[in-house]
Amino acid sequence: MAKHIGLEDFEKTFQQYKDTVFKTAYLIVGNVQEAEDILQEVFVKVYEAAGTFDPQKGSMSTWMHRITVNQCISQKRKKRAVSYSSEEMEERGFELTDPSDELPEEMVIQREEVANMWQAVKSIDAKHRAVLALRYFDGLSYDEIAQTLNIPLGTVKSRLNVAIKNLRTEMLGGL
Amino acid sequence: MDCERIKALLLSYMDDETDDDERKLVEVHLSGCAECTAEMEALAVTGSRLRQAYETVAAGVSPSPAVWQTIQDRVAARQAIGESDADRVGSRWGWLFGWRHPVWRTAMAGAAMLSFMIVFAINSAPVSMWTAAEQQAIDIATNDPAVLALLDGQGVVYEVIPVNGDSDAELYQVVFMSSHEAASRNFGGYTGLEINTDSVSGEFNYSDGADVPLCFDALSTQSNAIVDVSNKAVVEYGNYSVEVEADCLTAEQVQDAVQIAKTDSRIGDGARVINVALLNNYNSEQGEFTDEMVIWVRLSIDGDTYFAQVDLDEQRVVKIVDGGE
């Protein structure tokens, strides 16, 4: 039987990390509903697996980020398995407007620079988006990213280099 | 020292993530190389703009207030399942498999080639495949004259995909797979979409199933309807063609898998088989689905649903997880 976390501690953990998890997920998947689904999945897992968390092996923050990124990547995989891109749908005659391609409705972003950068971020693959979000949003060190993703430090460096290079290419292409 | 090597170190250098030797190397090079200095400045600008974009975008989104209650409800349900069935199945990883729908993999081969690799046998008993809203979308689509004309009496709902994204609209893409002659045969006589039924399970019955398994072996057309559930209207609809290769279980494999599952001491004869499916395996350590396809027998035991992963080569149940909804 799994050792569950107490409800009071669970709520404290949720309140402490919900924004980090949700926003990191959103920056990786680019869709509010998916990010909220991921938030749910992450905290259900936290509840179920709290007994396995070992602070000796890493911080709670690292653990949270790891679960979040894994969930983002598996979520994208599942989504890819059952869905088609808006371009594909449009090719098939649907006039789909996918709001996930837009910035959040409540935001009015007048700075074209930000909008262009966000579009560029969304054009690169999930693995590279993950390292970018962990570094440039969550502010994790390379070591922390390596622990979070369970990848070598050298891989973190190369993924960041590739991701930034791709971003710049996309930004240039958008000019 | 060539510029390319230095450029590869610049990001780490700027982030103070180089060792002493690398740092000295970069600094010596930068003192005499305008190109790499310009590259570093460009990287700094990109990094700065990226941070600004992330801050701006993230500031504009937040989870809904209801999400905490949803999580509480879910963990309460998981706990109830765990407490009642811990001795029998003992899995706490069932959340990993809370699939409402069969998980199947679409592989892209070439630019437009789609391979569909999942087939599942459906019991005739109502199967709760859809949420209420998804079922409503199906009902609306299958009552729409234009969609019915499109389907022309053929087609099976095999997926309903929320496509509302960030908006408040309740849009669902109802995807129909047309069943031509070959597929129809494999559907055990279930050749058409059953309109206005409570499920899409059709007439197929595993226990009578001479025709097991279902197998889309050469499907060529998909029909789609985009349904606005709020306004109870079909927004868009259409057909498109796909080239399909199927990766199917044979009838013998299905029978074998069921036999192995039902003779497992943890499961027993009282279990009812819901379906047998070829699904992506799940790596619980990595927390992600793998490309390996494995056989799952979905079972109902005393009203609860479980997945038994069966290895036909080893003739054993590899693991059992609870099956969520």
Average pLDDT, chain B: 64
| pLDDT tens digits along A36-60 | 889 998 998 888 777 667 767 678 8
Q: Does residue B290 sit at the A interface (CB-CB below 8 Å)?
A: no
| pLDDT tens digits along B285-306 | 665 556 666 787 777 777 676 7
| pLDDT tens digits along B68-101 | 988 888 887 766 544 433 322 222 222 222 222 2
Q: Each residue of B91-128: b (16+ CB within 10 Å) or e?
A: bbbbbbbbbebbbbbbeeeeeeebebbbbbbbbbeebe
Residue B288 bridge partners (DSSP): B283
Please give the interface size between A and B, counted as residue pairs whose CB atoms are below 8 Å apart. Answer: 189
Hey, of A71, A78, A108, A168, which one would you mutate to test binding to chain B, going by the most B CBs within 10 A of its CB?
A: A78
Average pLDDT, chain A: 76
Q: Using alpha carbons, list the distances in angstroms from residue B40 to B1, B104, B283.
A: 16, 45, 40
Q: Structure tokens of B311? A: 């290895």
Hey, of A37, A76, A94, which one would you mutate to test binding to chain B, going by the most B CBs within 10 A of its CB?
A: A94
CA torsion angle for B46, B50, B56, B59 (degrees, to 10)? -160
Query: In a 3-state reduction of DSSP, which class is residue B283?
Result: strand
The answer to whether the Cβ–Cβ distance between A118 and B64 falls below 8 Å is no
Least confident range from A11-20, B43-52, B151-160, B181-190: namely: B181-190
Q: Sorting pLDDT into bands at 50, 70 and 90, what band is A26?
A: very high
Rounded Cα distance, B129 and B325, in Å? 9
CB distance B122 to B201 below 8 Å: yes
| pLDDT tens digits along A71-112 | 887 765 444 333 334 444 344 333 333 334 454 554 454 567
- Give the B window 218-247 contacts with A, CB below 8 Å: 224, 226, 236, 238-240
Q: Is the model more confident about B308 or about B41?
A: B41
Q: How far from each other are the two terminal CA atoms of chain A, in whole angstroms?
A: 57
Neighbours of B304 (CB within 10 A): 17
Rounded Cα distance, B253 and B259, in Å? 10
A-chain CB neighbours of B158 within 8 Å are: none
- Give the B window 81-110 contacts with A, CB below 8 Å: 82-83, 86, 90, 92-93, 95, 101, 103-106
The answer to whether the Cβ–Cβ distance between B57 and A103 falls below 8 Å is yes
Q: Sorting pLDDT into bands at 50, 70 and 90, what band is B228?
A: confident
Q: How distant is the Cα of A33 from the closest Cα of chain B, in angstroms?
A: 6
A-chain CB neighbours of B75 within 8 Å are: 4, 10, 43-44, 47-48
The answer to whether the Cβ–Cβ distance between A1 and B286 falls below 8 Å is no
With CA atoms as reference, the chain B residue closest to A43 would be B71
Q: How distant is the Cα of A159 from the closest Cα of chain B, in angstroms?
A: 11
In this prediction the pTM is 0.49
Q: Which of A66-70, B36-40, B238-242 has the highest mean pLDDT?
A: B36-40
Length of chain A: 175
Percent of chain B with pLDDT over 70: 49
The answer to whether the Cβ–Cβ distance between B46 and A171 falls below 8 Å is yes
Residue range B258-269: average pLDDT? 79
Please report the ipTM that was assigned to this predicted complex: 0.81
Residue range B157-174: average pLDDT? 66
B-chain CB neighbours of A19 within 8 Å are: 62-63
Q: Using alpha carbons, list the distances in angstroms from residue B134 to A13, B96, B173, B174.
A: 33, 22, 9, 8
Rounded Cα distance, B163 and B228, in Å? 10
pLDDT, residue B25, reads 93
